[in-house]
Amino acid sequence: MEHNNSTEVRQLRIPTPFSVGPINIFLLKGETCTLVDVGPKTKEAFELIESFIKENGLVWCDIDRIFLTHQHVDHVGLTAEIVERTDAKVLAHPDAVPYITLDAEFMHHHDHFFHTLYRENGVPEKLLGYVERFRKMMEAYSEPAPVHKTITGGEVLEGNEEWVSIFTPGHTQNHLALFRKRDGVMLSGDFLIKEISSNAFVEPPARPGLERAKPLLVYRQAMNKIAKMPIRRMLSAHGESIENHAELIAHRLRRNDERAEKIYGLLEGTGKTVFELSAELFPSIYLKELPLTFSETLGHLDLLEEHGRVKPIWIKDENIYRYRQV
């Protein structure tokens, strides 16, 4: 537990039904009380949060604010239920809003984007049901919730003024963290996880007609920026705390380069689709974890393309892109 006269940081670990394992959510306890992320919408998660609030000498109405690091359901699922009980104000990045509110028009754009992207990159038609399954999972473990205020990074947290929001895109394009300069503590969400590399997920552009972000390139840029910050301890949303963030970031960047080299080597000859490469790179999980393995593969191809080493070629007869060495 970190504390001074103004804010204490309390941590609660909540089991999730996802392969990433339990999530750590945080309570900033002071004159103003803020929950940082809320866990998935499960009975167990709700009961654990209810007990956690009581153990900290609080009742529901003492929670003033919910700060959401990003839109994934293991982080936002219980938002609506907690708002109903607390009247707390929800803060998130503007680009996370349509996911949190489950905006119907945006979700249609989301599904269309993935159907097109997967088809054009060699995912067989029979596997396109992943897009709907992902949506059903979102709806099973979250429900539409309000966002009362949007922030983009650099804002002081009202009522918990020692905390400043930091824009940390990559894992998602709207990811936010909180930083306390006094003791160098960062509540880093999924930006950096000690035990596993944080996936830079491919996402649809915030609005139709825009180009998709290249998440691994965005993430590497953000990692280089965060590595220079005077962070002494990162409290991550998964796994253990991180004491040596710059060293871990340097290791992750090296691993990116190694994986990119491996992919480059696999592209000798006539070239391959993203799907074919993901099957070679992740033979045991590419079917079970399609969104994750596809994102990981495409991200590293983006990196190679940025360095002028590969390019996607449109194969008209097949209606797909194949990546080839330059």
Look at 24 and 19; give whichever has higher pLDDT: 24
pLDDT score, position 1? 44
Average pLDDT for the chain = 95
CATH 3.40.50.300 fits 8-325, yes or no: no
How sure is the predictor about 3, in pLDDT bands with cuts at 50, 70 and 90? very low
Tell me the per-residue pLDDT of 50-97, one tens digit each, with 9 for 90 and over.
999 999 999 999 999 999 999 999 999 999 999 999 999 999 999 999
Lowest mean pLDDT among 142-146, 228-232, 269-273: 269-273
Give me the percent of the chain exceeding a pLDDT of 70.
98
Tell me the per-residue pLDDT of 196-216, one tens digit each, with 9 for 90 and over.
999 999 999 998 889 999 999
What is the pLDDT averaged over residues 36-55?
A: 98
Residue 98 structure tokens: 């349509």
Count of positions (residues) in the chain: 326
pLDDT at 235 over 50: yes
CB 34 within 8 Å of CB 160: yes
pLDDT at 13 over 80: yes
pLDDT score, position 134? 87
What is d(CA 227, CA 145) in angstroms, rounded to the nearest whole number?
33
pLDDT score, position 317? 94
pLDDT at 111 over 50: yes
What is d(CA 183, CA 180) in angstroms, rounded to the nearest whole number?
6
Q: Quote the DSSP letter at residue 197.
A: P
pLDDT at 188 over 50: yes
Domain ranges of the chain: 8-325
pLDDT score, position 6? 73
What is d(CA 246, CA 225) in angstroms, rounded to the nearest whole number?
10
Residue 161 structure tokens: 């003024």
pLDDT score, position 248? 98
What is the pLDDT averaged over residues 102-125?
A: 96
Strands 33-36 and 65-67, by their bridges, are parallel
Residue 84 structure tokens: 């109903």
CB 201 within 8 Å of CB 285: no
CB 201 within 8 Å of CB 192: no
Sign of the alpha-carbon torsion through 234, 232, 218, 122: negative
pLDDT at 38 over 90: yes
What is d(CA 119, CA 245) in angstroms, rounded to the nearest whole number?
38
pLDDT score, position 207? 85
What is the pLDDT averaged over residues 301-325?
A: 97
At a CB cut-off of 8 Å and minimum separation 6, what does 78 contact? 38, 39, 40, 41, 45, 46, 49, 142
Tell me the per-residue pLDDT of 144-164, one tens digit each, with 9 for 90 and over.
999 999 999 999 999 999 999
Strand partners, 236: 189
pLDDT score, position 2? 44
